[in-house]
Amino acid sequence: MNISIPNNFFRIIRRPAVFIALCLCAFVPQSLHASFSISAETDKQSVEINDSLYLTITVSGDSSSVPEPALPQMNNFNIYSSGRIQNISIINGKIATSVAFTYILTPRFIGKQKIPPISVSNGGEKHVTPEIEVSVVKAAAPAQASQPQNAPRAQAARQPSARAQAARQPEETLFMTAETDKKTAYPNEQVNLTIRFYTAVPLTSNPQYVPPTFKNLISEDLPPVKNGETVIKGVRYTYSEIKTALFGIEEGQASINPASVFAQIHQGGAVDPFDPNFFQQFFAMNSGQGETRQVTSNSAALKILPLPEGAPAAFNGAVGNFTFSTEPDRREIKTGEALNLSLTITGKGNLKTLIAPKLPDMPDFKVYDTVSSLNISKDNDVIGGKKIFTTVLIPKTEGRRTIPRITFAFLDPATKTYKELSAGPFELTVEKGDGEGQNVSFAHGGQAAPITPISSDIRYVSDRTAAPLTGTAAGRISAMPLWLNLFPVGALLLSLWLARINDFRLKNPLLFRFRKAHGEARADLAGAADRLKNGRPKETASILYDSLLAYLYDKSGHKVSGLTMRRTLALLKEKFPDAGEDALNGIKDLWGKLEALHFSPGGATQEEARDMLETYTALLSLLEKEFKKRG
């Protein structure tokens, strides 16, 4: 292989700035090259006013996790989360992740409606999808079954007329109800909330639904919206039914605040919603003549029970009904090579809060951080799916090696008993590898590509005499002023210093995260304050929630987003025994409030977001002082 050097190479590197730039480029952290992308699409471009469509947002990246998209305000649609599917692959330490978020959109008005651009940001880079236009059309006229000639007269005799129904009091023609399928539940046990909106008068558009807010509960939508008809006290109503899955956060009382609906009622002549020609008359109305009415539901309460006694050692808060399996991706491997160990939990329950089962001690392996992928389904009003925890193992020595048995435990709320599931042990054959092995990092998409020669040239023999290339280069360098010759030396020292820092960071990731946690949290505070200033309280609360979990992760070394609040506080108390109770209570209080605002579909108000911002700012200063008292 011949490698050619351009004739002006030494002339270029004589410029100190260029030489320093070349040196520094070799030590740029690879994490800066991590990238992600976002796309959005709907399953149809045209939808009837009484129908719905699916919006799928896909975020892909070359890291172990990708940011969640920020949905814009869409006043022309009611939005319900329908689930998510995540795929993650780890091949030779290179990670690729793709998450598809699915939403159901029900239109509120006829005409050309637009889904605004949807953005996603990782704190430094931001991507936005194009705007999507959807055509909302009138509903098709229902098929009319043949009836006897006296049927309309008989029907009118047993039904109140539309004018008679419209003359009723507002609370009789429009009302809402809210009820849960159980009054008590364990933490992380599913409780279904059913909210129904009843109307006995025609509306000029689909109503706008404002979900309730919750205390000591997190929620998941259970779409799609169901519609039907019923008779209450002799009056016929059409109704829309919205279901929400609730999960208790911790033992104690939980509450459900009232939900609201804003409905447009036609002010002109009444139209019977049960008339066979209702749709033709309904869409002939002028929507500008509507009168807006707000209807609210009743509030409800739940009691979150303490977990039963006798929890096994492997229990870490999982509640539901699950299956468990574990499998290494191969049984024959060489020292220094990466092995993927996947732990799969499948079943019904709040998989978002599941944390990885504790791995046994494996002194024969290098054990790296665990990454997870999550698929959520919402079939038959039950939250379920699959969560896969993947850990990279690298064997240290050759021979017969064993991955010990791994146990997963959960509470079955139906039987109120704990269950333990185990998998393994697994026997591996490890052969001697060629090298020392490889580094695995979940912060970015793998190692830089090796240099590959793409061409070579032939140097012809010249009959002209010339000074050797090295001599010419040495002469040119010697002719440079003395102070310019110091630049390469300084660049070399700087590059060595940066290399040592980078090596220290890779060898001590927990210490590095611990030191940079405060700076990143302050940056998050600045971003949250900017969102609040621009009147976006929901985004402010979301940033503060993610920032608090990230800060606690960096300080404790444990990914607290997968832990319960009680477990997190216990870990912090263990690591920082001198930390005061005020600091821990402050974390508990702020976490609970932010979690309620983050997972509440209604989001936070401006005042709530401002209060959370000020609380977090004060708490951050307190925690920095307390965490420095390391025992």
Q: Are residues 115 and 54 in the same domain?
A: yes
Query: How far apart are alpha carbons 616 and 594 in whole angstroms?
Result: 10
Query: How far apart are alpha carbons 134 and 113 in whole angstroms?
Result: 5
Supply the pLDDT for residue 568. 80
Give 538's contacts (C-beta < 8 A, 6+ positions apart). 603, 604, 609
pLDDT tens digit string along 422-468? 998 999 999 987 755 555 555 444 444 444 444 444 444 444 555 55
Please identify which residue in the block is written with the tokens 């799609």.
224
pLDDT tens digit string along 237-293? 988 899 999 999 999 999 999 999 888 876 654 445 555 444 444 444 444 446 788
For 312-326, what is the mean pLDDT? 93
The residue with greater pLDDT, 560 or 14, is: 560
Residue from 175, 216, 186, 198 nearest 300 by CA: 216
Residue 579: half-sphere exposure toward Cβ, Cα within 13 Å: 26
Supply the pLDDT for residue 303. 94
Q: Are residues 191 and 281 in the same domain?
A: yes
pLDDT tens digit string along 391-412? 989 898 889 999 999 999 999 9
Among 96-110, 163-177, 366-380, which is the least confidently predicted range? 163-177
47, pLDDT greater than 60: yes
Q: Is-contact 562 354, C-beta < 8 A?
A: yes
Q: Are residues 362 and 300 in the same domain?
A: no
Structure tokens at 521: 């949290």
Q: Are residues 180 and 263 in the same domain?
A: yes
Supply the pLDDT for residue 20. 45
Whether the pTM exceeds 0.85: the reply is: no
Q: Are residues 367 and 404 in the same domain?
A: yes
For 174-185, what is the mean pLDDT? 93
Query: How far apart are alpha carbons 532 and 597 in whole angstroms?
Result: 14
580, pLDDT greater than 80: no
- What angle is formed at CA 441 by the lines to CA 515 and CA 19, rounded to 5 degrees? 80
Q: Is-contact 427 406, C-beta < 8 A?
A: no
Supply the pLDDT for residue 471. 60
Contacts for 523-532: CB closer than 8 Å, 24+ residues apart: 523/123, 524/550, 525/613, 525/616, 525/617, 525/620, 527/123, 528/609, 528/613, 528/616, 529/613, 532/606, 532/609, 532/610, 532/613
Structure tokens at 256: 């459900």
The answer to whether residue 443 is domain-embedded is no
Query: What are residue 205's phi and psi, to 5 degrees?
Result: -160, 165
The answer to whether residue 337 is domain-embedded is yes
Q: Which domain holds residue 107?
A: 31-137
Residue at a domain's end among 304, 325, 358 = 304
Q: Are residues 617 and 527 in the same domain?
A: yes
Helix (H, G, I), strand (E, B) or coil at 407: strand
Q: Are residues 179 and 238 in the same domain?
A: yes
Q: What is the CATH number of the domain that holds 552?
A: 1.20.120.330
Residue from 346, 287, 286, 352 nearest 321 by CA: 346
Q: Is-contact 42 74, C-beta < 8 A?
A: no
Residue 191: half-sphere exposure toward Cβ, Cα within 13 Å: 30
Q: Are residues 209 and 265 in the same domain?
A: yes
174, pLDDT greater than 80: yes
pLDDT band at residue 612 using 50, 70 and 90 as cut-offs: confident
Q: How far is CA 137 from CA 266, 403, 557, 583, in A?
A: 19, 60, 54, 56
Query: What are residue 507's phi and psi, to 5 degrees?
Result: -80, -20
Could you tell me the maximum CA-CA distance found in the chain, to the nearest angstrom? 117
The answer to whether residue 474 is domain-embedded is no
Give the distance, in angstroms, between the CA of residue 16 and the centroid of all CA atoms in the same chain. 46
Query: How far apart are alpha carbons 263 and 292 in whole angstroms?
Result: 6
Among 21-25, 102-106, 141-145, which is the least confidently predicted range? 21-25
601, pLDDT greater than 90: no
pLDDT band at residue 342 using 50, 70 and 90 as cut-offs: very high
Supply the pLDDT for residue 152. 42
Count of CB atoms situated within 10 Å of the CB of 73: 10
Query: How does the average pLDDT of the chain come out, rounded?
Result: 76
Q: What is the CATH number of the domain that holds 363?
A: 2.60.40.740
Give the H/E segment covering residue 547: helix 537-556
Residue 302: half-sphere exposure toward Cβ, Cα within 13 Å: 33
The answer to whether residue 9 is domain-embedded is no
pLDDT tens digit string along 473-516? 666 666 666 666 677 777 778 877 777 777 666 665 666 677 77
The answer to whether residue 201 is domain-embedded is yes
Query: How far apart are alpha carbons 430 and 397 in whole angstroms?
Result: 7
For 15-28, what is the mean pLDDT? 44
Helix (H, G, I), strand (E, B) or coil at 348: strand
Domains contained in the chain, number:
4
Give 257's contacts (C-beta < 8 A, 6+ positions apart). 212, 213, 214, 215, 299
Residue from 593, 545, 585, 542 nearest 566 by CA: 585
pLDDT band at residue 21 using 50, 70 and 90 as cut-offs: very low
For 323-332, what is the mean pLDDT? 91
Q: Are residues 77 and 123 in the same domain?
A: yes
165, pLDDT greater than 70: no
**Adjacency order of strands within the sheet including 426-431:** 332-334, 426-431, 399-403
Residue at a domain's end among 249, 277, 304 = 304
Query: How far apart are alpha carbons 358 and 409 in whole angstroms?
Result: 10
Q: What is the CATH number of the domain that holds 168?
A: 2.60.40
Supply the pLDDT for residue 184. 94
Query: How far apart are alpha carbons 53 and 47 in whole angstroms?
Result: 7
The answer to whether residue 208 is domain-embedded is yes
Among 20-29, 357-366, 492-501, which is the least confidently predicted range? 20-29
pLDDT band at residue 346 using 50, 70 and 90 as cut-offs: very high
Length of the chain equals: 631
Q: Are residues 262 and 231 in the same domain?
A: yes
The answer to whether residue 74 is domain-embedded is yes
Q: Is-contact 369 389, C-beta < 8 A?
A: no
245 DSSP β-pair partners: 192, 220
Q: Are residues 171 and 295 in the same domain?
A: yes
Residue at a domain's end among 304, 339, 362 = 304
- The conformation of residue 269, written as its DSSP 8-state character, comes to S
The answer to whether residue 366 is domain-embedded is yes
Supply the pLDDT for residue 5. 40
Q: Are residues 217 and 345 in the same domain?
A: no
182, pLDDT greater than 50: yes
